Amino acid sequence: MRLLLAGTVAVSTLLWGAGAQAAEGCGSTAAGWNAPNGAVVFNRGPGPIRSVLDAIGEYRTHSMLSHGPGAGVTHATMATPKQTDWPGVCTKPMNGQQLQYGYPGLEQINQGGIYNYMYTDDGTEWAGWQQGDPTQAAIIGDAIWYNHPYVSDVSHSDPGQAIDRPLRHGQRVSYSLFQYRDLQAVNHVPGDSVNNGMVCSTFLAYAHNYAGRGQVTPHTYSHEAIANASNSLYTGVYNQCKQSLGWFINAALTVACPFYNVCGNAGNQAANCMSTNLCDNTEGGYWKSVRDDPNATATSISPDRIGGWGVHPMRNTVWGVDYTHELQWNSGGNVYGCWQ
Protein backbone atom coordinates (compact mmCIF):
# COMPACT_ATOMS: atom_id res chain seq x y z
CA MET A 1 0.00 0.00 0.00
CA ARG A 2 2.59 2.55 1.08
CA LEU A 3 5.00 1.67 -1.72
CA LEU A 4 2.18 2.30 -4.19
CA LEU A 5 1.57 5.74 -2.71
CA ALA A 6 5.26 6.58 -2.75
CA GLY A 7 5.57 5.59 -6.40
CA THR A 8 2.53 7.61 -7.34
CA VAL A 9 3.95 10.68 -5.64
CA ALA A 10 7.26 10.39 -7.46
CA VAL A 11 5.70 10.12 -10.92
CA SER A 12 3.21 12.90 -10.25
CA THR A 13 5.90 15.24 -9.05
CA LEU A 14 7.69 14.84 -12.36
CA LEU A 15 4.51 15.62 -14.28
CA TRP A 16 3.86 18.66 -12.10
CA GLY A 17 7.39 19.91 -12.60
CA ALA A 18 6.91 19.57 -16.35
CA GLY A 19 4.10 22.12 -16.27
CA ALA A 20 0.97 20.01 -15.87
CA GLN A 21 -1.99 21.90 -14.40
CA ALA A 22 -3.62 20.67 -11.21
CA ALA A 23 -7.16 19.35 -11.53
CA GLU A 24 -9.82 20.57 -9.11
CA GLY A 25 -9.14 18.82 -5.82
CA CYS A 26 -5.46 18.29 -6.66
CA GLY A 27 -2.37 20.36 -6.02
CA SER A 28 1.24 20.52 -4.99
CA THR A 29 3.16 21.64 -1.94
CA ALA A 30 6.86 22.46 -1.81
CA ALA A 31 7.13 21.19 1.78
CA GLY A 32 5.20 18.91 4.11
CA TRP A 33 3.75 19.70 7.50
CA ASN A 34 5.55 19.27 10.82
CA ALA A 35 2.84 17.28 12.64
CA PRO A 36 4.29 14.06 14.18
CA ASN A 37 2.97 10.56 13.60
CA GLY A 38 -0.31 10.08 15.43
CA ALA A 39 -0.89 13.78 16.07
CA VAL A 40 -4.25 15.33 15.24
CA VAL A 41 -4.16 18.37 12.97
CA PHE A 42 -7.00 20.85 13.44
CA ASN A 43 -8.03 23.79 11.34
CA ARG A 44 -10.73 26.41 11.09
CA GLY A 45 -12.14 27.04 7.66
CA PRO A 46 -15.28 28.23 5.85
CA GLY A 47 -18.43 26.33 4.96
CA PRO A 48 -21.72 25.05 6.40
CA ILE A 49 -20.04 22.98 9.13
CA ARG A 50 -18.47 26.15 10.49
CA SER A 51 -21.94 27.69 10.77
CA VAL A 52 -23.08 24.70 12.83
CA LEU A 53 -20.06 24.69 15.15
CA ASP A 54 -20.10 28.46 15.62
CA ALA A 55 -23.75 28.17 16.68
CA ILE A 56 -22.84 25.78 19.52
CA GLY A 57 -19.86 27.87 20.64
CA GLU A 58 -17.05 25.72 19.24
CA TYR A 59 -14.05 26.78 17.17
CA ARG A 60 -12.33 24.00 15.25
CA THR A 61 -14.05 22.93 12.04
CA HIS A 62 -11.92 20.01 10.83
CA SER A 63 -9.58 17.39 12.28
CA MET A 64 -7.11 15.02 10.59
CA LEU A 65 -4.78 12.20 11.67
CA SER A 66 -1.14 12.82 10.74
CA HIS A 67 1.15 9.91 9.94
CA GLY A 68 4.28 11.99 10.37
CA PRO A 69 6.10 15.07 9.02
CA GLY A 70 5.71 15.10 5.25
CA ALA A 71 3.87 11.76 5.37
CA GLY A 72 0.31 10.59 4.76
CA VAL A 73 -2.93 11.87 6.26
CA THR A 74 -6.15 10.06 7.17
CA HIS A 75 -9.35 12.09 7.46
CA ALA A 76 -13.03 12.10 6.58
CA THR A 77 -14.43 14.84 4.39
CA MET A 78 -17.01 15.62 1.75
CA ALA A 79 -16.82 17.23 -1.67
CA THR A 80 -19.59 19.42 -3.03
CA PRO A 81 -22.56 17.27 -4.11
CA LYS A 82 -23.57 17.64 -7.73
CA GLN A 83 -26.70 19.46 -8.75
CA THR A 84 -29.78 17.45 -9.59
CA ASP A 85 -30.43 17.17 -13.32
CA TRP A 86 -32.71 19.73 -14.96
CA PRO A 87 -35.57 20.43 -14.34
CA GLY A 88 -35.59 18.66 -10.97
CA VAL A 89 -32.88 21.00 -9.72
CA CYS A 90 -35.49 23.73 -9.18
CA THR A 91 -37.23 21.76 -6.44
CA LYS A 92 -34.37 19.53 -5.28
CA PRO A 93 -31.09 21.39 -5.82
CA MET A 94 -28.63 18.73 -4.65
CA ASN A 95 -28.09 15.12 -5.58
CA GLY A 96 -29.62 13.51 -2.51
CA GLN A 97 -27.54 10.35 -2.63
CA GLN A 98 -24.28 12.30 -2.81
CA LEU A 99 -25.43 14.48 0.07
CA GLN A 100 -26.29 11.43 2.18
CA TYR A 101 -23.23 9.34 1.26
CA GLY A 102 -20.60 12.06 1.08
CA TYR A 103 -17.58 11.45 -1.14
CA PRO A 104 -14.69 10.88 -0.62
CA GLY A 105 -15.56 10.10 2.99
CA LEU A 106 -12.76 8.40 4.91
CA GLU A 107 -9.55 8.57 2.89
CA GLN A 108 -5.75 8.47 3.06
CA ILE A 109 -3.91 11.08 1.01
CA ASN A 110 -0.49 12.68 0.70
CA GLN A 111 0.79 16.15 1.56
CA GLY A 112 -0.01 17.64 -1.83
CA GLY A 113 -3.61 16.51 -1.49
CA ILE A 114 -4.09 17.80 2.05
CA TYR A 115 -2.42 21.13 1.29
CA ASN A 116 -4.80 21.67 -1.62
CA TYR A 117 -7.73 20.68 0.59
CA MET A 118 -6.77 23.08 3.38
CA TYR A 119 -5.61 26.17 1.52
CA THR A 120 -7.45 26.44 -1.80
CA ASP A 121 -9.79 29.47 -1.90
CA ASP A 122 -8.62 30.75 1.51
CA GLY A 123 -9.82 27.55 3.12
CA THR A 124 -7.87 27.85 6.40
CA GLU A 125 -7.63 30.83 8.73
CA TRP A 126 -6.01 28.87 11.58
CA ALA A 127 -4.29 25.48 11.95
CA GLY A 128 -2.49 23.62 14.72
CA TRP A 129 -1.76 20.13 16.02
CA GLN A 130 -1.85 18.17 19.27
CA GLN A 131 0.00 14.95 20.01
CA GLY A 132 0.01 14.16 23.73
CA ASP A 133 2.19 11.19 24.68
CA PRO A 134 4.29 10.51 21.54
CA THR A 135 4.27 6.73 22.03
CA GLN A 136 0.51 6.53 22.52
CA ALA A 137 -0.18 8.83 19.59
CA ALA A 138 2.13 6.85 17.29
CA ILE A 139 0.27 3.65 18.18
CA ILE A 140 -2.90 5.26 16.81
CA GLY A 141 -1.18 6.54 13.69
CA ASP A 142 0.45 3.19 12.93
CA ALA A 143 -2.70 1.17 13.62
CA ILE A 144 -4.69 3.12 11.02
CA TRP A 145 -1.85 3.37 8.49
CA TYR A 146 -0.45 -0.17 8.63
CA ASN A 147 -3.10 -2.44 10.15
CA HIS A 148 -6.48 -1.17 8.98
CA PRO A 149 -8.16 -2.73 5.90
CA TYR A 150 -8.44 -0.47 2.87
CA VAL A 151 -9.03 -0.39 -0.86
CA SER A 152 -7.27 1.79 -3.45
CA ASP A 153 -9.49 4.01 -5.58
CA VAL A 154 -8.70 6.32 -8.48
CA SER A 155 -9.07 10.05 -7.89
CA HIS A 156 -12.17 11.57 -9.52
CA SER A 157 -10.13 14.67 -10.34
CA ASP A 158 -6.96 13.06 -11.73
CA PRO A 159 -7.17 9.40 -12.84
CA GLY A 160 -3.40 9.16 -12.50
CA GLN A 161 -3.66 9.50 -8.73
CA ALA A 162 -4.60 6.76 -6.26
CA ILE A 163 -6.55 7.52 -3.08
CA ASP A 164 -6.71 4.82 -0.43
CA ARG A 165 -10.06 4.34 1.31
CA PRO A 166 -10.11 2.60 4.72
CA LEU A 167 -12.95 0.09 5.04
CA ARG A 168 -15.43 -0.71 7.79
CA HIS A 169 -17.58 -3.83 7.54
CA GLY A 170 -15.83 -4.41 4.20
CA GLN A 171 -17.24 -1.19 2.72
CA ARG A 172 -15.96 2.32 2.05
CA VAL A 173 -16.86 4.79 4.78
CA SER A 174 -18.93 7.75 3.58
CA TYR A 175 -19.12 11.22 5.10
CA SER A 176 -22.50 11.41 6.82
CA LEU A 177 -23.92 14.74 7.97
CA PHE A 178 -26.26 12.87 10.33
CA GLN A 179 -23.21 12.11 12.50
CA TYR A 180 -23.48 15.65 13.85
CA ARG A 181 -26.92 14.77 15.23
CA ASP A 182 -26.14 11.22 16.38
CA LEU A 183 -22.81 9.44 16.13
CA GLN A 184 -24.54 6.15 17.08
CA ALA A 185 -21.82 3.51 17.72
CA VAL A 186 -18.98 4.99 15.66
CA ASN A 187 -16.77 5.36 18.75
CA HIS A 188 -17.01 1.59 19.34
CA VAL A 189 -15.07 -1.13 17.52
CA PRO A 190 -16.11 -2.26 15.01
CA GLY A 191 -18.93 0.22 15.54
CA ASP A 192 -21.80 1.04 13.23
CA SER A 193 -23.81 3.96 11.88
CA VAL A 194 -26.38 4.77 9.22
CA ASN A 195 -24.87 5.33 5.77
CA ASN A 196 -21.78 3.48 7.11
CA GLY A 197 -20.80 7.07 7.81
CA MET A 198 -18.36 9.11 9.84
CA VAL A 199 -17.24 12.72 9.98
CA CYS A 200 -13.72 13.96 10.68
CA SER A 201 -13.96 13.92 14.47
CA THR A 202 -16.02 10.75 14.89
CA PHE A 203 -13.42 8.97 12.75
CA LEU A 204 -10.74 10.06 15.23
CA ALA A 205 -12.80 8.67 18.10
CA TYR A 206 -13.03 5.40 16.17
CA ALA A 207 -9.26 5.42 15.48
CA HIS A 208 -8.52 6.05 19.17
CA ASN A 209 -10.51 2.96 20.16
CA TYR A 210 -9.34 0.86 17.20
CA ALA A 211 -5.75 1.33 18.37
CA GLY A 212 -6.63 0.19 21.88
CA ARG A 213 -6.35 3.65 23.47
CA GLY A 214 -9.86 3.56 24.90
CA GLN A 215 -13.35 4.72 24.03
CA VAL A 216 -13.87 8.45 23.49
CA THR A 217 -17.09 9.49 25.19
CA PRO A 218 -19.52 11.73 23.28
CA HIS A 219 -21.12 14.98 24.37
CA THR A 220 -24.87 15.57 24.46
CA TYR A 221 -25.85 19.01 23.21
CA SER A 222 -28.92 20.72 24.62
CA HIS A 223 -32.06 21.42 22.65
CA GLU A 224 -31.19 25.12 22.58
CA ALA A 225 -27.80 24.32 21.06
CA ILE A 226 -29.17 22.10 18.29
CA ALA A 227 -31.96 24.57 17.52
CA ASN A 228 -29.32 27.27 17.02
CA ALA A 229 -27.24 24.87 14.92
CA SER A 230 -30.19 23.94 12.69
CA ASN A 231 -31.09 27.56 12.06
CA SER A 232 -27.46 28.42 11.34
CA LEU A 233 -27.03 25.56 8.87
CA TYR A 234 -30.15 26.54 6.95
CA THR A 235 -29.23 30.23 6.95
CA GLY A 236 -25.60 29.56 6.04
CA VAL A 237 -26.46 27.44 3.00
CA TYR A 238 -29.22 29.86 1.96
CA ASN A 239 -26.96 32.93 2.18
CA GLN A 240 -24.03 31.29 0.42
CA CYS A 241 -26.36 30.21 -2.35
CA LYS A 242 -27.68 33.75 -2.74
CA GLN A 243 -24.11 35.06 -2.93
CA SER A 244 -23.04 32.38 -5.44
CA LEU A 245 -20.60 31.11 -2.80
CA GLY A 246 -22.55 28.03 -1.88
CA TRP A 247 -21.12 24.75 -0.74
CA PHE A 248 -23.88 23.07 -2.73
CA ILE A 249 -25.50 25.33 -5.26
CA ASN A 250 -24.84 28.21 -7.63
CA ALA A 251 -27.22 31.14 -7.36
CA ALA A 252 -27.44 31.35 -11.16
CA LEU A 253 -30.12 28.69 -10.83
CA THR A 254 -32.42 31.25 -9.28
CA VAL A 255 -32.52 32.84 -12.73
CA ALA A 256 -33.21 29.51 -14.42
CA CYS A 257 -35.91 28.65 -11.85
CA PRO A 258 -37.75 31.97 -11.39
CA PHE A 259 -40.81 30.44 -9.70
CA TYR A 260 -38.90 28.41 -7.11
CA ASN A 261 -37.00 29.25 -3.95
CA VAL A 262 -33.90 27.31 -5.00
CA CYS A 263 -31.70 28.59 -2.17
CA GLY A 264 -34.39 27.90 0.40
CA ASN A 265 -34.74 24.38 -0.96
CA ALA A 266 -30.96 23.91 -0.69
CA GLY A 267 -31.02 25.07 2.93
CA ASN A 268 -33.91 22.75 3.75
CA GLN A 269 -32.20 19.81 2.08
CA ALA A 270 -28.96 20.29 4.04
CA ALA A 271 -30.78 20.82 7.34
CA ASN A 272 -32.99 17.76 6.76
CA CYS A 273 -29.92 15.66 6.03
CA MET A 274 -28.12 16.66 9.21
CA SER A 275 -31.11 16.53 11.56
CA THR A 276 -33.10 13.54 10.23
CA ASN A 277 -30.93 11.83 7.55
CA LEU A 278 -33.61 12.69 4.95
CA CYS A 279 -31.11 13.98 2.44
CA ASP A 280 -33.34 13.72 -0.63
CA ASN A 281 -36.11 15.90 0.78
CA THR A 282 -36.52 19.69 0.61
CA GLU A 283 -39.61 20.09 2.79
CA GLY A 284 -38.66 22.37 5.66
CA GLY A 285 -41.05 20.74 8.10
CA TYR A 286 -38.72 17.82 8.83
CA TRP A 287 -35.76 19.70 10.26
CA LYS A 288 -38.04 22.28 11.87
CA SER A 289 -39.88 19.52 13.74
CA VAL A 290 -36.55 18.61 15.38
CA ARG A 291 -35.71 22.25 16.01
CA ASP A 292 -39.07 22.87 17.65
CA ASP A 293 -39.18 19.69 19.77
CA PRO A 294 -38.06 20.69 23.30
CA ASN A 295 -36.94 17.12 23.98
CA ALA A 296 -34.68 16.87 20.93
CA THR A 297 -30.93 16.80 21.59
CA ALA A 298 -27.78 15.76 19.72
CA THR A 299 -25.04 13.36 20.83
CA SER A 300 -21.76 13.47 18.98
CA ILE A 301 -18.00 14.07 19.11
CA SER A 302 -16.72 17.33 17.65
CA PRO A 303 -13.17 18.45 16.78
CA ASP A 304 -13.11 20.54 19.96
CA ARG A 305 -13.97 17.44 22.00
CA ILE A 306 -11.15 15.47 20.38
CA GLY A 307 -8.75 18.24 21.40
CA GLY A 308 -10.15 18.76 24.90
CA TRP A 309 -11.20 22.36 24.31
CA GLY A 310 -13.90 24.40 26.06
CA VAL A 311 -16.43 22.31 27.98
CA HIS A 312 -14.80 19.07 26.81
CA PRO A 313 -12.53 17.06 29.15
CA MET A 314 -8.80 17.07 28.42
CA ARG A 315 -8.31 13.41 29.33
CA ASN A 316 -10.99 12.00 27.05
CA THR A 317 -8.32 11.36 24.38
CA VAL A 318 -4.57 10.85 24.12
CA TRP A 319 -4.36 14.20 22.32
CA GLY A 320 -6.43 16.34 24.68
CA VAL A 321 -3.73 16.74 27.35
CA ASP A 322 -1.40 18.50 24.91
CA TYR A 323 -1.31 22.20 24.08
CA THR A 324 -1.80 23.32 20.49
CA HIS A 325 1.38 23.51 18.40
CA GLU A 326 1.62 25.73 15.34
CA LEU A 327 1.24 23.85 12.08
CA GLN A 328 4.23 24.63 9.87
CA TRP A 329 5.05 23.47 6.36
CA ASN A 330 8.78 22.91 6.60
CA SER A 331 9.58 19.24 5.97
CA GLY A 332 11.36 18.57 2.69
CA GLY A 333 9.97 17.35 -0.60
CA ASN A 334 7.77 18.68 -3.39
CA VAL A 335 4.63 16.51 -3.58
CA TYR A 336 1.63 16.52 -5.91
CA GLY A 337 -1.57 14.80 -4.87
CA CYS A 338 -5.38 14.82 -4.79
CA TRP A 339 -8.03 14.63 -2.10
CA GLN A 340 -11.03 13.83 -4.32
Distance CA 99, CA 239 (A): 19
Nearest to 5 by CA among 99, 107, 91: 107
Nearest to 284 by CA among 262, 304, 269: 269
Nearest to 124 by CA among 327, 333, 335, 308: 327
| Domain ranges for the chain | 2-20+27-221+295-338
Pairing outcome for strands 171-172 and 162-168: antiparallel
Question: So what's the pLDDT on residue 251?
Answer: 54
- Mean pLDDT of all residues in 165-176: 98
Question: So what's the pLDDT on residue 331?
Answer: 85
Instruction: Grade residue 21 by pLDDT with cuts at 50, 70 and 90.
Output: very low
Average pLDDT, the chain: 90
pLDDT tens-place string over residues 98-113: 999 999 999 999 999 9
ω into residue 81 within 30 of 0, thus cis? no
pLDDT tens-place string over residues 183-208: 999 999 999 999 999 999 999 999 99
